[in-house]
Structure 1
Amino acid sequence: MSDPFAQAAQALATAPARAEKLARNLVARAPQDPRPRLILASALRRQGKCQDALALLVPLAQAYPNAARTRYELGLCLRAIGHGAEGMVQLEAATQLDPSLVEAWQALADASFATGDAARELRANAALARLDADHPDVGRGAELVVLGRCDQAEPILRQFLLKQPNHAQASRLLAACYVAARAFDHAETLLRHAISLKPDDKLARFDLARSLFARQQAEAALAELAPLEAAEPANPAYRNLRAGCLALLGDDAGAEALHASLAQEFPENPRIAVNHGHALRTKGERDAAIAAYRRAIALAPRTGEAWWSLANLKVGTLTAQDGATMRGLLADKSLPDVDRLHLDYALGRACEDGGDAPQAFDHYAKGADLARRHYAMVIPDYAAEAQAVATRFTPEFLAERADWGVANASPIFILGLPRSGSTLVEQILASHPQIEGTMELPYMGAIASRLAAKGPQAVEEASADDIRQWGEEYLARAAVHRRLGRPYFIDKMPNNFRHIGLIRLMLPKARIVDVRRHPMASCFSGFKQLFAEGQEFSYSLEDLGAYYRHYLAIIRHFHEVAPLSVHTLIYEDLVEDTETQVRKLLEAVGVDFHPATLRFFENDRAVRTVSSEQVRQPIYRSGLDHWRAFEPQLAPLAQALGDALENWRD
């Protein structure tokens, strides 16, 4: 290479000291030419000599104010010496002067991540996605995907792929649209296709890992993540995903350690502080979790998730001043909906704790309305589903297949409605030396969804080998969560009541515990809870009433067609006469009484549900009738429940 400018520029990335030497020679030979001075400044910055670099860059920027690369280098230098705001101004200027300057957009994205400026980071990443594309249509689709507008991106990408089906980037981007729609099978197919076309595509492999994580397939996600981590062990996105996978697998200490290291490395990012708070809460470190959430709020007061996380501890962490601050934030019409709905739920909790039921309900209702729109809820036909269960799982159908599944008695399924006391029952059982508490395992639901996609005949036409294989699959996938070597383990996925028939077929010796609570108490507790995902029925009083009736219908069907297959425990009875109900519960799951189950609150196991703080204290009666303060506002719920209000115990 004979061009001395090209030699100096090429040396920057791998040999900045050599680039400095070459650039100094060029400056001496052509002192009026700005190019060698810019190369020299970049070489100095890369060696940590930012003050020396600034001495060159400041006069260059003044002399050539429209030079994008000069502004880019100046921005990096200013940030490196602690002048973050000034540095961001220069980086923004660089992207405006040259919208195709990838390095400036990447620096802007990285700086925005470090400072927790989510809006600016999103804008920079959208520009990067557009610039990375090799076709305008793919670029537009990429930009829309990053901005979260997958409904607009999907038709663009689908049309493009009809013409070029082997375009790896378009395949990856369309897969992202499928992930947003939770069509994970289609997403995985497209992502694996993209990787087959470009095996070294880091973005496609990372998207595949994230998709697998979203399906709660943590081990598979970690396998895809491993080569990416090997190449970039410091990548914060990879570390964050690993932490999520470890949490799914029950390694709460490992997950918290990763979140702690990220929080230390990026102390100005409120999202990282919130994630660290969640990990600390799961471990039972409440005070540290509160501190992490407070830090997120101090960094970015409009971070709705941090406010809701404080409120969701349910231990009176919000003050009167917090309430005033949240009201002020909600008055700001520019507040994003996702933050607004979190704040409405948080302020609802604060008002309820303060005894103002009407105001509390108003905020819960506003939050629920936003959640319905934000998550685009689609409510199933519960009546049709219940009828299908009753038609399929008859006494004769179950009897013919009684011994087809896996004769393994280790699983204990705790099910019912969310917020009905299932976490308390799990904590009681997990305090028994023969029973291990795991988490809300997704595997039964995943198997059921896969079968449902094949049509109603999938279960009816299944052979004994098919059903046994399903049972073996469930046990194999659950095994990774069994860390204590105890004979029994708990799967506390509440919505598994919809799969009781499948459980009876696959695992005929498994124990099933139905935890039931007064419908008004259960449904209202769900209504005022903002769930991390799912539970789409909980954001409408009418839908909650319909869901409760659906739940009763399913449980009652199996009480009738398979007597003693489900043990129903009434939450109110457990509160009023704990020891009697605990003894009956232990008998139902097949273990002897142990006194530790009555001192469940001393169990320091990790608890991942929203009831984590409540089950770390003795049972208290005061929460049974909280809903009565809201009775006037709950009339639509009472009407939707109908006769379930009177016969719910039957």
Structure 2
Amino acid sequence: MTSNDILSAIVAALGAGQFQRAETLCREALRDHPQDERILVFLGMSLQKQHRLADALAVFAELTRLFPESSIHWGNYGMLAAALGNRESAEKAYQIAIHADPSNPVPKVRQGLLLLERKDYLAARNLLLDAVVLEPNSAWARIHAARACCLAQDLDGAGDLLKPWRSWTPLQNDPLQMELAQVMVQHGDVPEAVEILEDLLSRQPHLPEARLLLASVYERSNKLLEARELADSVANAESASGEQRNEAHHLLAILALRGANPQEAKRILERCGPQGQDDYAHYFQLAAAYDKLGDTAAAMQALAEAHRLEAIERRFDSPECYTAETPALATHAPRASAEQYLRWPKLLAPEAEYSPVFVVGFPRSGTTLLEQMLDAHPGLQSMDENPFFGRLADFLRNYDPRILEDLSVLRQYDCDELRKRYYAMVADRVTLKEGVRLVDKNPLNMQWLPFIHRLFPEAKFILALRHPCDVLLSCYMQSFQSSTLAAACSSLERLAHAYVETMNHWLEDVNLFRPDVMESRYENLVDDFVGQTERIARFLDLSDAQPMLGFDRHARSKTYIGTPSYSQVIEPVNRKAVGRWHRYRKYFEPVLPILDPMLRHWDYDASSP
């Protein structure tokens, strides 16, 4: 047989799935051509297809010895080394492959994946973004890069990478489609993740990881029966791994809590235990069960462990949030002094009716309830929380960081362009109906009042207020996606300082800029829902408050609510969350002196009920 005949026979055997025959043909051919590059590659492939990874690794090691300048051979060697658990050898091989051919994106992606496993999220993000630059149309590179961006807290970067996702599906790679769904969930694109998962399950109906993620998404979307059915199916599936069954039981515990059965949730969680050494979510869930059962000591003990483990994990993506110099609640929002404000030129800007309505307040103060009430009105339209002003500030910072040090340098054209950018970002998240006003609910937009006031000086603000101790307790019992907020919640003491500092800045800014603000107290809202709703309607010049009274029905009709209170806002208004902190009073005694200025300012009582 000629060399071409031998190669054709090997390729035919590989194509027919006859991997042992392909191996035999390769070994026979290598007797006469022991250093033939193509035959060695085919031999390595045939061994890999037979799951003989160590034998395949030896073949590719020989290829790197014979052809040391080949980026492809070094990349293949690294892939096999990683599959065999030798990450150090894999990383060295990928580095050589990248150096041998910087235009080859494959080793950069594979090296990036190893960095993700090592939790070096920023380095992984940078390397994977380099791979996307080299191959911008590669779904494989973009999905992995988007995951790295999410883990590195670069949600904007992830969003840009994921924009063409509809052109990729259905992917001819089920694990990659699964990862796409996971990244979509991380990014907050939950309805899109449902679409991807349902498509995947139409082809692989019993895939445990897809059923688990879809169950979790259904729970977040308040489709509780569907979530329970999927979770039960995995918990009882022999084909599911122990880790997958554990995850299913954790989801069943969440559903038990939502079904007002905290005893069952506690039983499940204590029986199955955490999903790993770093599973801080397990302890947050356990604390919620103990809280519902009235066992405050056990709840606080579980929360201490939850925050300890979460801090370890968050230091990988945001180490700057945990330094001694970091403020209690770090922010990059620009400040403005009275002297600077006097220099602000008078500019044309939208009137109140053409400006967004901003709903602000410290997290867990009732902003989501207000948002859902407003969104239920046909004249208003809200969207999930988005850090639009942070993105605008980043744009200015990249152009010239001095602008944010003194906003008086912004002129008419600058403000007009920034407003255009703002509404372009809004259009990416929601399609505004004709003739409605936008509701921009982001609690910590209260830190951005100077910047917002520069662009929308006539805008109306609704400040959500709630007893500071109830706010702190609710925050402390949450795991927030934002590392900055998670770090602020790492202890009640730090959280108290974060609350006071944030409120002080807000009060200083309100005193300086005099925006049109209505304060809405959670306690008043739940005690006199009709009267307070009418008050809000008058403030916003709405002729009819009636639609807002049915906010819970409106919220239940939504496909997804992307805040921690997604399960509360589908219920009618009630007093269950009022005064909850009193059961934890002994844990709050040390922080009451810190909170005292705000307790007095907002006229909240810190005495026993």
- TM-score by length of structure 2 reads 0.75
Q: Check the 8 A contact 2:252/2:265 in 1, yes or no.
A: no
Residues 298-357 of structure 1 show CA distances to partners (whole Å, capped at 9, x for unaligned) of 545656765665555652465545423422444x8xx52333x11111111111112211
1:605 paired residue number: 558
Q: Kindly report which structure 2 residues correspond to 1:110-509, keeping only aligned pairs within 5 A, or say none.
A: 139=78, 168=105, 187=125, 193-197=130-134, 203-210=140-147, 214-216=154-156, 220-225=160-165, 228-229=168-169, 232-233=171-172, 235-238=174-177, 241=180, 252=191, 254-266=192-204, 269-298=207-236, 299=240, 302=243, 315-316=258-259, 320-330=263-273, 336-339=276-279, 341-376=280-315, 378=321, 381-382=326-327, 392-394=336-338, 397=341, 400-403=344-347, 405=349, 409-451=354-396, 454-455=400-401, 457-458=403-404, 460=406, 461-483=409-431, 485-486=433-434, 487-509=436-458
Q: Distance in 2 between matches of 1:242 and 1:592?
A: 43
Q: How far apart in 2 are the matches of 1:308 and 1:616?
A: 22
Structure 1: state its 5+ residue gaps: 27-33, 40-66, 75-90, 103-130
Aligned to 1:614: 568
Cα 1:201/1:578, change in 2 over 3 Å: closer
Give the Cα separation in 1 of the matches to 2:205 and 2:593: 50
**How far 1:522 sits from its partner (Å)?**
0.5
Q: Within 2, Cα distance between the matches of 1:13 and 1:164?
A: 28
In the alignment, the residues of structure 2 paired with residue 267 and residue 374 of structure 1 have an alpha-carbon distance, to the nearest angstrom, of: 33
Question: Would the alpha carbon gap of residues 519 and 215 (structure 1) be closer, same or farther in structure 2, given more than 3 Å must change?
Answer: same
1:516 counterpart letter in structure 2:
L
Give the AA of the match of 2:344.
E
1:183-224 Cα shifts (integer Å, max 9, x gaps)? 69x957x65654454567664344445567752467633445
The gaps in structure 2 that reach 5 residues or longer are: 29-42, 61-69, 605-609
1-side partners of 2:337 and 2:330: how far apart? 12
Residue of structure 1 in register with 2:66 after alignment: none
Please say if residues 582 and 597 of structure 1, whose CA atoms lie closer than 8 Å, have aligned partners that are also in contact: yes
Distance 2:130 2:521 in 1: 50
Q: How does 1:627-638 map to 2 (within 5 A)?
A: 627-638=581-592
The separation in 1 between residues aligned to 2:204 and 2:86, in whole angstroms, is: 23
Q: What is the CA distance between 1:424 and its match in structure 2?
A: 0.8
Distance in 1 separating the partners of 2:131 and 2:326: 36
**What SS class does the counterpart of residue 278 from structure 2 fall into?**
helix
**CA gap 1:273/1:38 in 2 versus in 1, 3 angstroms:** farther
Cα gap change, 1:218 to 1:492, in 2 (>3 Å)? farther
SS in 2 for 1:512: strand
Distance 1:397 1:608, change over 3 A: same
What residue number does 1:641 align with? Answer: 595
Equivalents in 2 of 1:262, 1:382: separation in Å?
A: 44
> Quick check: 2:334–2:451 contact (8 Å CA) kept in 1?
no
- Whole-Å separation in 2 of the counterparts to 1:139 and 1:555: 53
In 2, are the aligned partners of 1:434 and 1:488 still within 8 Å (CA)?
yes
- Please list, as runs of the form range in 1=range in 2, the aligned pairs for 1:35-184 lying within 5 A after superposition: 35=24, 91=51, 94-99=52-57, 139=78, 168=105
Return the alpha-carbon distance in structure 2 between the equivalents of residues 166 and 272 of structure 1: 34
Distance 2:391 2:586 in 1: 39
After superposition, the Cα gap between the structure-2 partners of 1:37 and 1:467, relative to the gap in structure 1 and judged at 3 Å, is closer
AA aligned to 1:472 is: K
Task: Note the C-alpha offset of 1:393.
Answer: 4.7
Q: Alpha carbons of 1:101 and 1:576: their partners in 2 closer, same or farther (altered >3 Å)? A: farther
Distance of aligned partners of 1:193 and 1:260 in 2 relative to their CA distance in 1, 3 Å threshold? closer
Structure 2: distance between partners of 1:238 and 1:367: 31
Give the deviation of 1:485 after TM superposition: 0.7
2:47 and 2:56 in contact (8 A); partners too: no
* CA gap 1:139/1:452 in 2 versus in 1, 3 angstroms: farther
1:11 is the counterpart of 2:12: yes
* SS of corresponding position for 2:360: strand
Amino acid corresponding to residue 590 of structure 1 in structure 2? D
Q: 1:139 to 1:558 in 2, by over 3 A?
A: same
User: What's 1:85 paired with?
Assistant: none
- The percentage of counterpart residues that share the same residue type is 19
So what's the TM-score if we normalise by structure 1?
Answer: 0.71
CA–CA separation in structure 1 for the residues paired with 2:86 and 2:355 = 45
Greater alpha carbon shift after TM alignment, 436-445 vs 393-402: 393-402
The DSSP-based 3-state class of the residue aligned with 1:614 is coil
Contact 1:430 1:437 in 2 (8 A): yes
**Range with bigger deviation, 610-619 or 312-321:** 312-321
Aligned residue for 1:87? none
For residues 86 and 313 of structure 2, the distance between their equivalents in structure 1, rounded to whole angstroms, comes to: 15
The alignment covers a number of residue pairs equal to 552
What CA distance in whole angstroms lies between the structure 1 residues aligned with 2:111 and 2:348?
Answer: 41
2:253–2:264 Cα contact (<8 Å) kept: no
Q: How far apart are 1:277 and its partner, in Å?
A: 2.6
